[in-house]
Amino acid sequence: MGDKARVLLVGSGGIGTITALNLERGGLASVTAVLRSNYNVVKEQGFTIDSCDHGSVQGWRPSESKLENLSMTNPVDERGQVLAKVPDVSAGDAQRFDFIVCTTKNIPDVPPALTEVIKPAVTPGHSVIVLVQNGLNIEQAIFEAFPTNICLSGVSLMGADELSLGHILENDHDRLFIGPFRNRNIEATKEKAAAEEFVRIYSASGKADCSYQSDVLFVRWRKLMYNAVWNPICALTGMDTSRLRLASGVDDPASPINLLVKPAMNEIRSAALAAANVQLPESLVDSTIECDPLEIFCAPSMFQDMRKKRFIEYENILGEALREGEKAGANMPTIKSLYGLCKAVQWRTMEHHGLVNADAVLKARIAEQ
C-alpha cells in the first residue's frame, strides 16, 4: 500500500472527523473526506475541534496534501482537500483508495443506500471497506454489492458530536474495535491481515485505543446493550443518560432505569444468546448503565439526531436485534415497544422532509377500501 494508506472517509460528523484526525496524526494515512451538510463551512474555514484526545485544533481539513500545505509558522492552519461527493475512481477523479471508512449513520429505510454512495470509489478486489457503524447485519449489503472486497467491522466507543456545522466536540476517549466480517469469497487470512493493518495505522497516533477483535458478533451484540437501549430511550424521552439515571431512585421499581433500561438490556442479552450464542454476562447491565460519566450528561447519537430533525438509525440497531432475537425464540416486549415508537418517529421525520405526505397516504387508503 506504499508509504501511506490512501483512505477515503465518508461521513465527517463527530465520529468521522475525529477518526480522520486520528488517522492523519498517526502519519500512516492520507485521508480524503466526503462531507455533506458541513461542506461549505469546512471548505472555507476548516474544522474547529475540541478533543479530549487531540486538544484544541482550529482550521483543520483532512487531506492527502496536508503535509505539503502545512504552514510551519501556524501549525493549525492546515489547508487541504475536502469533497462534496464521493470521487469516481474509474473516471479518474482520484487514485484508488486502500481503505474506504464509512462513519455515516446506517439508515437502510431512507435512500440512498450506502452501497450506492460509495460505489464510485470502490476498486474491486482492492479497496477494504471499513464500517464504523452500529447494528447487526450491516455487512450483508456490502457483500452483495462488492463480493471481492474485504469488509471490516468497526465498533467505536468514542463520544463525539458536531455541535454546529464544522465544530466538533470529542468528550470521551477514542476506543475502536476492528475485526473482519467473514466473506466466504475471500481467504480468512487476507481478511485478518487487512484488519490488523488498519489497527496498526489507526494506533500510530498514540492517542486512540484501537484493537483487533476476531469475534465480531460478540463486540456488536455487546454494544447493542447500549445502542438498542440508551439511544431510543433517550431520544423518545428527550433526556440524556445522566438525567435518566438521576431521575431513577435505586429502590423505585417504576423508575426509568428499573422499568425500561434494565429490562431492555436483559432482552438484548437473551437475544444475543438465542440468536448468536453470544454470552453477555449479567454484570454488563450495570456497567453499561453506568458507563457514561454522570458529569458529561451524555446525549446518545439517536437523541442528537432527533433534536436536529434528522433520520434515526433504528432499523439496524433495534429492528435487526428484534428480528434475530424473536426468530430464535427470545421474548423482547420492551425492545419491540421501543422499535414501534421509533418507527413512528421515523415516519414523522420523513413527513417533515417531504418524503411522505399524510394527505396523499390517506387518500390512497380510502381509495383501497
Going across the sheet that includes 29-34, the strands are 82-83, 29-34, 5-10, 99-102, 128-132, 151-156, 175-180, 209-212
Total tally of structural domains belonging to the chain: 2
Pair (95, 199) in one structural domain? yes
pTM of the model: 0.91
Check whether residue 225 and residue 210 sit in a common domain: no
Q: DSSP letter for 137, please.
A: S
Q: Are residues 184 and 278 in the same domain?
A: no
Residues of the chain with pLDDT under 50: 1, 64-80
Please check whether residues 99 and 229 belong to one and the same domain.
no
* pLDDT confidence of residue 68: 32
Structural domain contains residue 116: yes
> Which residues have a Cβ under 8 Å from the Cβ of 276 and sit 6 or more positions away?
217, 221, 324
User: What's the confidence (pLDDT) of residue 1?
Assistant: 46
In angstroms, the CA 131 to CA 133 distance is 5
Tell whether 181 and 276 lie within a shared domain.
no
Parent domain of 261: 220-352
Which residue, 214, 242, 267, sits at the end of a domain?
A: 214
365 in a structural domain: no
Grid coordinates representing 191 are 481478511
The pLDDT assigned to 159 comes to 86
Half-sphere exposure of 271 (CA within 13 A, CB side): 31
Alpha helices in the chain (DSSP H): 14-25, 39-45, 66-69, 114-118, 140-145, 188-203, 216-227, 230-237, 241-246, 256, 262-276, 283-289, 301-307, 320-327, 333-352, 358-368
pLDDT at 172: 87
User: Which pLDDT does position 76 carry in this prediction?
Assistant: 32
Q: What pLDDT, on a 0 to 100 scale, did the predictor assign at position 2?
A: 52
Same domain, 259 and 346: yes
> What integer pLDDT is reported at residue 84 of this predicted model?
87
Looking at the domain assignment, is residue 359 inside a domain?
A: no
